[in-house]
Copies of this chain bind each other. A is one copy, B any other.
């Protein structure tokens, strides 16, 4: 069994029930989520050993975040219990022409104020095969860019494979700042993950001829983006998610993996969305699992895309699917028949 460690923020997610708008809600569904925590849960559900590293307050709401991960078997022993508030975000689910809305309230969280000495990376990474982080973590500011760097250097020292999802968040930092910080961190990354916009937002690397609003994809253009990323940072693989937003209710979904100088395009899924938040993270989770299993490149991208297709039919951020569920969809069983 392979062991992966992920590092980042876990937040309380609050969303109105069903399709209610914020102003209609007198109740919020409460779950716990975050880019890297979502990946840890994906991996645990696939049967991998997965640990999540962060800092959360010692109070009961912090405990809820710990429990939410233990529920799925994630190793939470390095979730440090101290300090400030638990970050949170509000999600309102869109439908048809009305897009979903996300409001973040994460400033001043325990992890955002964490210190380098909080994390003993030598112990944390002991026995790990893989380390995963996203661009959100250094974007939280404070000492986090340095903390990530500490972890990355330790990974290099220990020969641990590193993946990173660029995940640019304009509300957290400027493109200039992101480019500067990520420019220092990405050289340590083996597997780089991005959506259609991240490479441009962070590094100004662009695929020609793409119109996100149109619902159509320029899949070929992304090969060029992946090639540029590979060249600039020396990554072994670049994976890009390809989302075609038809409406808030229906999306096309595919992915592309570029590795060894070749590109591998997945099949496309037309998804009737249940909850698309966390879709990108579940792609990362699928990708890491497939790579840790040593699958062939085409299977890797098919597994990642099938896994994240399924996530988008599931409520809340976590991807509640087994490896078997994903393999079945990869194998062509997309008709949604009842399993008795």
Contact = CB atoms under 8 A, between A and B. Distances in A.
Interface of A: 14, 18-31, 59-61, 63-64, 67, 70-73, 84-86, 90, 92, 94-105, 107-108, 169-171, 212-215, 245-250, 269, 271-274, 276-277, 309-310, 312-316, 320-321, 325, 329, 332-340
A335 B96 CA distance: 8
A112 to B, nearest CB: 11
A310 to B, nearest CB: 5
B24 A248 contact: no
Contacts of A26: 26, 29-31
Stoichiometry (number of copies): 6
A30 B25 contact: yes
Which applies to chain A's interface (DSSP): helix, strand, loop or mixed?
A: loop
Given A19-B314, A94-B313, A104 B340 contact: yes
A73 B71 CA distance: 8
A314 B99 contact: no
Contact of A29 (B27, B85, B212, B337): B27
B95 A107 contact: no
Nearest to A211: B335
A96 B319 CA distance: 15
Given A21-B314, A24-B320, A99-B335, 16 more contacts: A14-B14, A19-B313, A21-B60, A23-B63, A23-B64, A24-B316, A27-B27, A85-B107, A94-B338, A96-B336, A97-B310, A97-B334, A101-B339, A108-B108, A245-B337, A247-B336
A320 to B, nearest CB: 5
Specify which of A59, A103, A273 lies most central, judged by the most chain B CB atoms within 10 Å of its CB.
Answer: A103
Nearest to A215: B335
Contacts of A25: 30, 64
Given A18-B315, A22-B60, A22-B63, A337 B99 contact: yes
Nearest to A87: B105
B103 A60 contact: yes
Given A23-B320, A313-B98, A103 B18 contact: no
B60 A23 contact: yes
Contact of A334 (B84, B247, B271, B325): B247
A22 B61 contact: yes
24 contacts: A19-B315, A23-B64, A23-B67, A24-B316, A24-B320, A27-B30, A60-B90, A67-B71, A70-B70, A70-B71, A70-B72, A95-B272, A96-B309, A96-B336, A97-B271, A97-B329, A99-B337, A102-B340, A212-B337, A213-B335, A247-B272, A248-B313, A249-B336, A277-B338
Contacts of A325: 98
B272 A249 contact: yes
A337 B103 contact: no
